[in-house]
Amino acid sequence: GAYKFVSELWRRKQSDVMRFVQRVRCWEYRQQPAIVRITRPTRPDRARRLGFKAKQGYVVYRIRVRRGGRKRPVPKGIVYGKPKHQGITQLKFQRNKRSVAEERAGRRLGGLRVLNSYWVNEVYTC
């Protein structure tokens, strides 16, 4: 059926069609705010598998999260203590991008509950 067809499309992200569509979408998403409400899921097959139903009370938001590591916020780069603990730039954030996005959505939309989330797009060199 249609859901199977769509899920097969999403499985082949390196195909010419998907690469073109994703590049165009990537540009479009950059022009929009970091948290934006959308009328319907970008991936309807994935959304339904994760519990979404197309009825009143279910809303879909797209959240943008910056990529890259976490820089320690220290004033003027001054750190104290032993050299082992003086790292600033090569630190890894302990939570994944998905949980960060879900938390931001939950904080922004206080009257709603986060049901689930899924990956939509990522900036490679688009």
Tokens coding 73: 């916020």
Find out whether 48 and 55 touch, Cβ atoms under 8 Å.
no
pLDDT at 125 over 70: no
Residue 124: its pLDDT value, please? 75
Q: Please report, rounded to a whole number, the percentage of residues in the chain having pLDDT higher than 70.
A: 98
> What integer pLDDT is reported at residue 79 of this predicted model?
94
* pTM of this prediction exceeds 0.85: yes
Topology (CATH) of 2-108: Ribosomal protein L15e (3.40.1120)
Mean pLDDT over each residue of the chain, to the nearest integer? 95
85 burial (CB, 10 Å; 0-12 / 13-18 / 19+) is: exposed
Question: pLDDT tens across 17-46, in order?
Answer: 999 999 999 999 999 999 999 999 999 999
User: Across the strands, what pairs with 61?
Assistant: 37
Task: Report whether pLDDT(8) > 60.
Answer: yes
Domain spans in the chain, listed from the N-terminal domain onward: 2-108
What would the pLDDT profile of 59-76 be if each residue is shown by its tens digit? 999 999 999 999 999 999
Place of tokens 């003086």: 86
CB distance 83 to 102 below 8 Å: no
Return the DSSP state at 61. E
Task: Say if residue 7's pLDDT is above 80.
Answer: yes
Question: pLDDT tens digit string along 94-103?
Answer: 999 999 999 9
Tokens at residue 58, please?
């279910």
- Rounded to the nearest 5°, which phi and psi values hold at 69? -75, -175
